[in-house]
Amino acid sequence: MSSLVDVAFLLLTFFILTSTLDPREADLGLSLTPQVPKGLTEPIYVVTQDPTRIRIAADGVVWCNDEAVATDVRSRHLPGLLTQLRTIKAAEVAMAYGRGLSDGLKVEVSADDQVSGQRFVDVMNCLAEAGIDSVALEGFRE
């Protein structure tokens, strides 16, 4: 019986040490910017959020802040990107709700020249579904 207990604890220890946890939180890159309004002597700290960068690679893979969120190029539904955008939007709403001192959500979208127009539209649909209406387009040729 004691041998069975030893083996059980050995297996338990092995699986605990070799497993990894999948964290659900995201690193949003927040910083505090002091601002002194007119008439006040003490600065008010405004929470600023780093811009969210979405890049569509030439092979159709969608990257959000250096993380591949949509690797199935045949699918028009991008649940990984939508989840990431909703998380970022919720963080921005929470910052603005606290004291109303958020400088707004910034999303920058760029795409390689070989990306199909449909893939770009799919990304824009995800942004609209997440409630993000302020988007900057970068690196597009005329």
Which residue reads 């802040």 in tokens?
Answer: 65
pLDDT on residue 46: 57
Mean pLDDT by 10 residues, the chain (142 residues): 88 86 55 59 61 86 85 81 85 65 72 84 87 79 58
The two tokens of residue 129 are: 């579904």
Classified as helix, coil or strand, 51 is coil
* R_g of the chain computed on alpha carbons: 22
On whether the pTM is more than 0.75, the answer is: no
The two tokens of residue 104 are: 């707004």
pLDDT on residue 7: 92
pLDDT on residue 83: 87
The two tokens of residue 8 are: 């059980």
